[in-house]
Amino acid sequence: MRLCWSVVLGLLLSAVAGARPMVLTVVGVPGEEDYRVRFEGWAQQIERGLAKNPGNALVKTIGAKSGATRKELDAAIDEAARTVTPEDTFTLILIGHGSYDSVDYKFNLKGPDISSTQLAVLLDRIRAERQLIVNTTSCSGGSLTALVKPKRVVMAATRTGTQKNATVFGRYFADAFSDPASDTDKNETVSALEAFQYAQRRTVEYFEQEKRIATEQSVLNDIGQGGGVRDPGRDNGQGLLAAAFPVMRLGDAATAAADPGKADLLRRKDILEQQIDRLKYEKESISPADYRQRMNALLLTLARTQADIDK
C-alpha cells in the first residue's frame, strides 16, 4: 500500500519541533564468552557515539556485562514511559540472541525470555509518537508482525524468524555510530535509513569477503503494516519515515544541537531535508519542470539555513 506523502510529511513536521532523542539499548544473555565480549563491545560503541550528542535526554544501556533480566527490561521501559513525551523520539536497540517457534519471536534474556508480543505491549506505554526499534538478533524477522506499528520504524537483522544463525548486522549497525561513511548524504545527521543501509551493505560485504552463503538478510518496515523490505524506496513506499528519523548527529550538527540558540535553525533544517526526501519520492508523479523548480527552491533555502547554523 502506498502512503499519501503529504499526510506523512504533516505528521513529520508536527513531530520535529521540540523533540528530544531517547535511546535504550538492551543486551540479552550472551551465552558463550565470545558473544559476551562481542555484544558488550557493540553496546559500548553505540554509547560512545551517542555521547557526542549532548542533546539526548536519555541514553541507557542495560545488560552489557552478563545480559539483562526481564525485571531490568521492565524497569527501563517504565523509566522511558515516565520520561518520554509525545514530541520526543524513542529508540530501542536489541543486541543478543533470539528464537522463533513458528508462532512468536523471543528475545533471550537472563532468566525468562520476552516474546515480541509481550515487548509490543510494553512499548505501547511509551508516549513518543516517533519510535525506532532495531532488532539485531537471530530470528529477528519473526518479531516484525508484533512490532510493526504506524509512526514506528522497525529494523530486523533477518528476513524471517527461521534465519537462526547468530547475526553480524548488529556489529555493523554499531559501526554506523562511529564511521562517518554512514552519513551518506553528508549532512552531518545519520538517519535511521542511512544506518540501516550502511549496516546492510557492510553485512553483504562480510559474507562476500568470507565466501560464505548469507544466513541473514536485514529488512525494514516504516509504513505501519505488512512485512519488512530489503530495499526501501518509492517502489514499495518504504523508507520515508526512516529517512526523517535522526539516529545521531556529527560534527557541527552535534554542536548546534546542544546550542539552544541554534535549536530552531536545526529543526528548520530537518524539516527542509524531509521536504526534499518527500519530493524525491514524488518525482515520477510530477512534471520535470515542476520538480526542478521545487527542488531548487528547497535547496536554496536549505543552503541559507545551513549558513545561519554555521555563523
Classified by CATH at the fold level, domain 5-253 comes out as Rossmann fold (3.40.50)
The alpha helices in 3-147, defined as continuous H runs, are 5-16, 33-51, 70-83, 116-123, 144-147
pLDDT at 249: 77
Looking up cell 560534527 gives 251
pLDDT at 6: 41
pLDDT at 210: 87
pLDDT at 8: 45
Q: How many angstroms separate the CA atoms of 308 and 181, rounded?
A: 25
For residue 240, what is the enclosing H or E element?
A: helix 240-243
**Cell for 291?**
520538480
The angle formed by the CA atoms of residues 51, 55 and 61, to the nearest 5 degrees, is 45
pLDDT at 292: 80
Sequence-ordered list of residues with C-beta below 8 angstroms from that of 211, at least 6 positions apart, any chain: none
Q: How many angstroms separate the CA atoms of 138 and 167, rounded?
A: 6
- In order along its 311 residues, the chain shows pLDDT tens digits of 344 444 444 444 444 445 678 999 999 999 888 899 999 999 999 999 888 766 555 789 999 988 999 999 999 999 999 999 998 899 999 999 999 999 999 999 999 999 999 999 999 999 998 999 999 999 999 999 999 999 999 999 999 999 999 999 999 999 999 899 999 988 888 999 999 999 999 999 999 998 989 999 999 999 999 999 999 988 888 998 999 898 987 755 555 555 556 556 666 766 666 566 667 666 767 888 877 888 778 777 777 776 776 66
pLDDT at 296: 79
What predicted TM-score, i.e. pTM, was given to this entire model?
0.80
Q: How many angstroms separate the CA atoms of 293 and 272, rounded?
A: 15
pLDDT at 235: 83
For residue 43, what is the enclosing H or E element?
A: helix 33-51
